[in-house]
Amino acid sequence: MLMVYTPDGNGGLVRSATPDMAIAERRAVWVDLLTASLEEEALVERAFNVDAPTAIERRALEDSSRFWHGPGIVQAAATLVTTGPGDSLTADAVTFILRDQMLISVRDISPRAFTIGQDRSSARIFAAGNGAEVFYALLESISERSADILEIVDKEAEEISNALFTPRESPKTKGKKRERAIAHNRSQQIRRIGFLGARTAKAAESLNSLVRLAAYVEGCGAECGLDPERMRAQRKDFEQLDRYADGLTERLTFLLDAAFGLIAAEQNQSIRIMTVFSVVFAPPTLIASIYGMNFRNMPELGTFWGYPASLGLMAALAMATGIWAWRRGWFR
């Protein structure tokens, strides 16, 4: 799809209903190629003497593929994210080309920043007078959207932390039902932590690439109408968000380790209870095993008191072992 934005006559921008004509008449301020066809790419390349990068070139990691500049032109790519199915994040590279006070963007995804009017920063596109101003507005909107994503992750991480370390269990839930409820909650928490970790990783990947983009454009964008001081401020914003994402990643890793640790502790508690019962019933089992042997010379087998005496001995040993274990705190 080819979208062309031209001056509206009041100092702002409007989307042209005839993009081909707007390009031919050199009225375009922002040319946006969204999953463009080969014909649309060829039209833009011929009109503005640029080389629109392919999807493979946009997604390359090396700076030589993502960044390039020449007389009056700067080309830079960054990884941006957009919300996908199930509130997940999808990441893909977007290329920005600044030439003669005009912006060309090449992309296959639709980040919220590109939806004019959805955010405070993208709403400023309406008032942009040239491609540099559109570029600023897009970067500011991307920064705001990244901050929103990280703030949501931070809030959910705080809720999970409270649930892990200050659990509020209903006193009416007991026994196996309570254990199943706890196990289900732990499983849900681990899944949610993993989901939040994936979102944070995508956001961090995007922010890291945006830091690189801002640093590159800061050094060579002046001849295309970009203010180095403004780009420096934008780069610092991205760097701060990138550090925030790193901190969230460490926090989520800690919560994941804590969740697994609590599961291990709960399993150890169950195993300890089974071990205590095994110890308590070990002496009675020994007595029963002795009198279960088929030797002829076992005088107790021929007496009327042999059976109740063995039962009493087993009960006494079990009680004594239980008291001993209780005093040592094994039942706590």
Place of tokens 């559109």: 134
Does residue 140 lie in a domain region?
yes
Claim to verify: residue 119 and residue 215 sit in the same structural domain: yes
Per DSSP, the three-state class of 303 is coil
DSSP letters of 216-232? HHHHH-GGGT--HHHHH
Domain boundary among 269, 293, 317: 269
Distance CA 132, CA 125 (A): 10
Q: Is the domain of 189 the same as that of 129?
A: yes
In a domain, 332, yes or no: no
Does any domain span residue 211? yes
Domain count, the chain: 2
Whether 302 and 191 share a structural domain: no
Task: Calculate the average pLDDT of the chain.
Answer: 80
For the beta carbon of residue 207, count every other beta carbon within 10 angstroms.
29
- Using one digit for the tens of pLDDT, what is the confidence trace for 252-264? 999 888 888 877 7
CA distance 85 to 149: 15
Residue 274 within any structural domain of the chain: no
Query: Collapsing DSSP states into helix, strand and coil, what is residue 328?
Result: coil
For residues 129 and 35, membership in a common domain is answered with yes
The 3-state secondary structure of 75-136 reads EEEEEEEEECHHHCEEEEEEEEEEECCEEEEEECCCCHHHCCCCCHHHHHHHHCCCHHHHHH
User: For residue 133, what pLDDT is reported?
Assistant: 86
The 3-state DSSP composition of the chain as helix, strand, coil percent (nearest 5) reads 65, 15, 20
Q: Are residues 253 and 311 in the same domain?
A: no
Q: Is residue 61 part of a domain?
A: yes
| Same-domain status, 307 and 179 | no
The two tokens of residue 262 are 């609590």
Do 319 and 233 lie in one domain? The reply is no
Range of the domain at 306: 281-327
The CA distances from residue 92 to 56, 78, 159, 203, in Å, are: 11, 8, 30, 11
User: Which residues of the chain are modeled with pLDDT < 70?
Assistant: 11, 57-58, 61-64, 116-123, 167-184, 266-270, 330-332
| E strand map for the chain | 2-7, 13-15, 30-34, 67-70, 73-83, 89-99, 102-107
In Å, how far are 12, 100, 122, 129 from 9, measured between CA atoms? 7, 20, 19, 10
For residue 120, the model assigns a pLDDT of 58
Question: Is there a single domain that holds both residue 250 and residue 292?
Answer: no
Q: How much is the pLDDT for 150?
A: 92
Residue 320 C-alpha from the chain's centroid: 55
Domain check: are 85 and 116 in the same one? yes
275 lies in a domain? Answer: no
- The predicted structure's pLDDT at residue 239: 93
Q: Are 166 and 126 in contact (CB under 8 A)?
A: no
In a shared domain, residues 242 and 313: no
> Are residues 308 and 208 part of one domain?
no
CATH number of the domain residue 33 falls in: 3.30.460.20
Q: Are residues 229 and 308 in the same domain?
A: no
Length of the chain: 332
Q: Which residues pair with 6 in a beta bridge?
A: 14
Over residues 17-52, the pLDDT tens digits come to: 888 888 887 888 888 888 888 888 888 888 888 887
**pLDDT (0 to 100) of residue 171:** 47
